[in-house]
Structure formats: C-alpha cells, structure tokens
A and B are shown apart, each in its own frame.
Chain A
Amino acid sequence: MSSKGILLFARNNTEIDYIKQAKFLAQRAKEYLDLPVSIVTDTANTDLDGFDKVITVSSDENNVKSFYDGQNYKSNIQWKNSLRTQAYNLTPYDETLLLDTDIVICNSNFAECFDNFEDFQIYKNSIDLVDRETDLEFLRLADSGIDFYWATCVFFRKTAVNKLFFDLLIHIEQNWDHYVKAYGILTSNFRNDYVFSIGIHIINGFKPGSFAKSLPGKLYHITDKSVLKEIKNEELLLLLEDPTDTQNNTLLRTKGINVHAMNKFSLNRCIDEQ
C-alpha cells in the first residue's frame, strides 16, 4: 500500500515564523484530512514534535521581497522560497500533497486528491476574496505569456513522469535568469508559481496540455494587503483591502472554505490567539 502525506517547507526569516504556521497547519490537516505531515526546514533546533518526519536542509538565499501586513505596513525581508523543486526527492511519501504553510484548511476536500486518478494536480485558478477582477499576475506570467499555476498546493505521485517533471523544475531553477528572459517575466525574483507554470508549459510540449489536472475543490485567497482577523474552527473573519482606498476595508466571514492567507503576519497573530 502506498504511503500518503502532506509535505511543508518552513524556513523562518527575521520577521516571519513559518514553523509556527506549519505546526498549525499540521494540526488542522490531522483534524480535517487525517493525514501525516512532514516538514522541510533549516531550523531543526526547535520543537518539531507534531510532525511525522523532519527533513533538515541548509539554506543560503538572497531573495528579498516586500511583505505587507494590510494596506499600510510594508517590510522588505528575506524570502526563502527555493528548494520546493526538490519536493519529489525530499518527500517521504509515495503520494504527496505539497502545501504552503499559509493555507488555512477548513474542509476535507484535499483528501479527494489521493483517490483521484490524476498523478499531478495543481490549481490553475484561485478565487480572490476581494470582489474584483482577477489580477493579471495570477492569470498569466506576462501580458502575452503562458498560463499561471499556483505552486501553493500541489499533489503528486512518485511516477517516472513526475520524476522527469521535478528534474525539469530543478533545471529551471538553476537557470532562472535564462527563463525569466525567455518567458518575458518582469520580476527577477525567483518564484515557485512561475517555475511550476514554466515546467507545465514545457512538459506539455510548449503549449497548453493535459499534464496538470486541477486539485479537488476550490482555492480562495487574500493577498497580504488584506488581514486575517480570526480563525474559529472552520470560520474565518477577514478584513479585506479596498483596492480604491487604502484607508478603507470591508469585512468578510467565510465558513468551510480553504483559504490561502498570504498575509503571514496576520496569520501568525491568529495562530497566537488560538
């Protein structure tokens, strides 16, 4: 029988405690999905008892990114986002659900991916909880570029084709400067969503194709300009940005939907309040 589990990458920087998020996600994964969770981290000298396996890696990265906490706070901090391309080699499971630590699981939909026939599943679309046109950034890699996929949640089985795919992702990461130019990407910052999107485009024969299938259910998101205020079981309270007025917000209550909470500061505050 094949082994199944969730894999998280959590590497803290000076301001954001990703391990705290990973522990919280692991608790919710047990509650909603009944799956073991393994962690890949460079911070092994901390309490990591709740995890099935702890995979220690070293990290030496210079990526810097602006992180917002709502519309009025911004901090430029280190962004350790490499190594995800190594997920295939690092995972202890035959069937792996790879998740960002800022996913707030509120239902059991993810469990269905393990029963699905498809060996590689990923979301192409995510629903913005702010009521506005989807940002072009989340649709294509450039104005006239290829389709965007969310590396936030990825399911894969250990198959020869998936091994080939992840080896390709490692190649793209190693030659990132070339692929930025080749795909007309405007930011030079390394970004996993782009690497996965390029990999899917290449493995499909440089055209849209059938390699990547959609994960079950829907993914919803807030960017870091919105604020997660409260997590109460499967209910979330959110303070949504107003794209037309930085001094204004609207409120939203969600029940039973999985949310990608990109405002990591507010997610950590909510975790502290649990």
Chain B
Amino acid sequence: MDSSLEKALKFSNYMATLDNQKRIILEKFQEQTVYYFNGGQFTVDLTLLSYVNILLSSTSTGVLLDDKKIPILVTDLAKFYQDIFDTYHNSLTNYYNEYEQLKKSRTVEKLVEL
C-alpha cells in the first residue's frame, strides 16, 4: 500500500466514506432502472410498472410516453412489461446486495474492498 493510501485511511472518516458509497450506489441504481426501447427511454418505477400492468388487462398494444415526452408505440405490451419488470427487479436486487455489503463493512478498508 502506498503512502497516500495509508494517509487517507488514517484520516478518512468512516461515516463520510460510508455515506458517499451509499450515495453512489443509489445513483447507480437509478441509472440501471432506465430501459431503452424502440428509440425511447423509460425510467422504470412503480408507477410505470403499475400502469403497464393495468394496460395489459385491456389491450396487447399501446402507446407510452417516454422520459423525453416522446410517444412510443409498444406492439407487444406483455414482453415490454416483462422487460421493465426484470430491469427494475434486477436493479433493485443489485442495489440491495451492494447496500447490505456496505452495512456489513465496519472499516474504511472493508467499505472500499482493499
């Protein structure tokens, strides 16, 4: 370990490091919940999941407004729903795993996996 790393470890505030790691994995989770489809961009959240699920009960195709307010035609709503469900579920699971790992890490070295 070089001297600058040792110095940082010596002075690092554990809570500051933990909070910053948490902030960045939350940003990453939000980034990973974006689903790109047919030229459109959809941030998957519970509202989108619920809306598409409701839509599915009455139709198999539909138009959705993407993040940039562009209307996107979805010709296979069932597949679209499964894809956004997987996107959200996988991102959240990944976020949970990384968060749990941070919670268990009681030193700066463990937080940054040195």
Residues of A within 8 A of B (CB): 70, 109, 112, 115-118, 127, 129-131, 213-214, 216-218, 220, 227, 229, 237, 239-240, 247-257
Are B16 and A131 in contact (CB-based, < 8 A)? yes
Please give the distance in Å from B66's CB to the nearest CB on chain A. 9
In the complex, the chain B residue whose C-beta lies closest to that of A113 is B36
Are B68 and A218 in contact (CB-based, < 8 A)? no
Q: Give complex CA distance A230, B39 in Å.
A: 35
- Chain B, residues 22-37, CB within 8 Å of chain A (1/0): the string is 0110011011001010
- Chain B, residues 80-106, CB within 8 Å of chain A (1/0): the string is 000000000000000000100000000
Please give the distance in Å from B76's CB to the nearest CB on chain A. 17
Contact of B12 among A109, A117, A118, A249 (CB under 8 A): A249
Interchain residue pairs with CB less than 8 A apart (7): A216-B34, A218-B27, A237-B114, A250-B12, A251-B114, A252-B20, A252-B112
Contact of B111 among A117, A218, A251, A256 (CB under 8 A): A251
Most A CB contacts (10 A, CB to CB) among B8, B16, B68 go to B8
In the complex, the chain B residue whose C-beta lies closest to that of A118 is B68
The answer to the question of B73 belonging to the interface, with a C-beta cut-off of 8 Å to chain A, is no
Question: Which residues of chain B are near A214, meaning CB under 8 Å?
Answer: 68
Contact of A252 among B5, B21, B36, B39 (CB under 8 A): B21
Question: Which residues of chain B are near A256, meaning CB under 8 Å?
Answer: 28
Are A251 and B17 in contact (CB-based, < 8 A)? yes
Contact of A112 among B7, B21, B36, B68 (CB under 8 A): B36
Contact of B20 among A70, A213, A240 (CB under 8 A): A240
Q: Give complex CA distance A254, B111 in Å.
A: 11
Q: Give complex CA distance A202, B8 in Å.
A: 45
The answer to the question of B41 belonging to the interface, with a C-beta cut-off of 8 Å to chain A, is yes
Question: Which residues of chain A are near B27, meaning CB under 8 Å?
Answer: 127, 218, 220, 257
In the complex, the chain B residue whose C-beta lies closest to that of A227 is B4
